[in-house]
Chains A and B, each alone.
Chain A
Amino acid sequence: MLDYGPDAILMAGLDGANWRLADYEKRGGYEALRKLLADQVPPERVIAEVKKSALRGRGGAGFPTGLKWSFMPRQFPGAKYMVCNSDEGEPGTCKDRDLLRYNPHSVIEGMIIAGYATGSTAGYNYIHGEIWALYEQFEEAIEEARRAGYLGRDILGSAFSFEVYAHPGFGAYICGEETGLLESIEGKKGQPRFKPPFPASFGLYGKPTTVNNTETFAAVPWIMRHGGDAFLNLGRPNNGGTKLFSVTGHVARPGNYEVRLGTPFARLLEMAGGTRAGKRLKAVIPGGSSMPVLPADVMLATDMDYDSIAKAGSMLGSGAVIVMDETTCMVRALERLSYFYFEESCGQCTPCREGTGWLYRVVHRIETGRGRAEDLALLDNVSDNIAGRTICALGDAAALPVKSFLKHFRHEFEHHIEHRSCLVSGPDSEPKWGRAGAHLPPAMARAA
């Protein structure tokens, strides 16, 4: 048995091999869909139930799912789309992989129910290229569902028709952004669109479209089977249900854990085996690499739900909890983060394309003992000139970590610059945790 913790509902009853249709049906799968269609439940009632559950988007922004579905125009004739975002590429996040690997039919059933609720005609699941085996497995799962009559024309003898297809990503973080993702399905570069119009009015091929995260869809069948209230009561008001947290970094047992929203961080940390033997907790990024870092004492007093983490000064984001113990050099940590955003900026907006390069180069030179007195002011300035000035939120995602690292751990950066050495682990000439990545790409070595 796979163990995601005692509160697991999405990942309950999984043994690593029972992902197939027959297994899913044994766990009560597709019952919710059967019942909806047999009772001819009005679509508005489905949306009302999801609203009641206080299910919020699990992809990063935490937008209320029922409300998002209600934006889909009801009277629109012709094609409408439901898109699943399995592009999971936010450093620290590895939960959608487990969902697709061990429970893919929960995602398919969630997409079908969402399609029914919004009057959509087809769904696409955008699966990032690095998990190719799961792309193929998902196609198999779709085929199983089609053969059983859960997909296709007149599903289970009803008047509702719906198809689901898988679409492959191939190495671009930006395609996780929902409009970049839609461009990518259309066979173009995955550069985000200017909003408004939002996807609900102008989405895939210009048709009304809703994009939801894999885990969001996976929660829908449970909500329809057990009711919105039951889901809400697992969590907290405005923060319904359980959530998969990917706990990584300096913990004894990195992995995915499913807990009720509102669970204290300390409890989640304990489930992951606590920090490595004898080491003190130093800092945590609670919601994926794009969110602000928080010091240990703040995190230890925080509960894991959207509103509590926001109050503590960060965001729950995708639920990726990156744990750093006292051996972590925060300059090196930020250098790794900044490299990622520099590599993954799509190049469309000047502040992001140029700014992410500046952030990386400056943090890198501080890390490698070549920092200048004016560098911290420069980092602040560059971050401020990116945040809020780009088409999509990747700019903010690059800038927010920088601001938060400087806010909470400024002294480590100052020490690097003044003493050309590291407060945590000695001389800078020897980069922490491996030399990899501590080199400049050739084009940048010249610029730096």
Chain B
Amino acid sequence: MLSPESLRRIDREIAKYPAEHKQSAVMAALIVAQDEKGWLATETMDFVAQYLGMAPVAVYEVASFYNMYNLEPAGQYKLTVCTCLPCGLQGSLDAADHLKARLGVDFGETTADGRFTLKEGECMGACAMAPVVLVNNKKMHDYMSNAKLDALLDELRKR
């Protein structure tokens, strides 16, 4: 269900915790699974549950509690913009408006070509470097002026 490379990564996480607490690796295992599959289908979560010896419902609970798991297919690039007060004061709300206009979507929507999903995010611990945009959960871009946003979109489109 998951690639040998993904399973190796998960095994490395399991080794961090006492043998009787394999469940502690569930967050990391779901991250690895999402990296490989793009989102967490029920079969994927069931596989993780079986691999860690957990009840499937316990895995669903975790996947739905934490904001960064994709419980449905997302665009090729998920862009998350922090819209909290400190970032807002430093222009991130305007940056979000710019992205909405450029992509023609609102928060929580995906562009028609399936390329981009735009998401409203909460503090990412990078407030002084606002506006902050997270690409596919893992790559953070900071100080995002409109020009840098445009450059980012162009670069992602070219990939």
Contact = CB atoms under 8 A, between A and B. Distances in A.
Interface in A46-102: 79, 88-94, 96-97
Given A184-B27, A205-B21, A343-B122, A433 B68 contact: no
Contacts of B2: none
Interface string B132-158: 001001111000000000000000000
A255 B26 CA distance: 35
B32 to A, nearest CB: 10
B125 interface: yes
Contact of B28 (A94, A168, A255): A168
Interface string B36-68: 000000000000000010100010011001111
Contact of A256 (B100, B120, B128): B128
Contacts of B6: none
A142 to B, nearest CB: 10
A389 interface: no
B64 to A, nearest CB: 9
B18 interface: yes
A333 interface: yes
Contacts of A323: 89
Q: Please indicate which of the listed interface residues A91, A167, A328, A333 has the most CB atoms of chain B within 10 Å of its own CB.
A: A91
Contacts of B90: 248-249, 254
A336 B129 contact: no
Interface in B74-107: 81, 83-97, 100, 106-107
Given A89-B123, A94-B125, A97-B126, A437 B25 contact: no
A107 B127 CA distance: 21
Query: Range of interface residues on chain A?
Result: 35 or more
A415 interface: no
Contact of B122 (A187, A344, A436): A344
Query: Range of interface residues on chain B?
Result: 35 or more
Interface in A306-354: 320, 322-324, 328, 333, 336-337, 339-340, 343-344, 346
A187 B100 CA distance: 36
A190 B128 contact: no
25 contacts: A89-B125, A91-B127, A93-B123, A97-B125, A129-B68, A130-B121, A130-B134, A167-B27, A169-B27, A169-B66, A187-B24, A248-B90, A248-B127, A249-B90, A254-B127, A255-B128, A289-B85, A320-B86, A322-B86, A337-B84, A433-B88, A434-B91, A436-B97, A436-B120, A437-B83
Given A169-B27, A289-B86, A436-B120, 9 more contacts: A91-B127, A94-B127, A187-B25, A187-B62, A188-B58, A254-B130, A328-B89, A337-B84, A340-B122
Interface of A: 79, 88-94, 96-97, 124, 128-133, 165-173, 184-190, 205, 246-250, 254-256, 289, 320, 322-324, 328, 333, 336-337, 339-340, 343-344, 346, 433-437, 439
Interface of B: 16-18, 21, 23-28, 30-31, 52, 54, 58, 61-62, 65-69, 81, 83-97, 100, 106-107, 120-130, 134, 137-140
7 closest pairs, A vs B, by CB? Answer: A434-B93, A171-B67, A436-B96, A187-B23, A171-B68, A88-B125, A130-B124
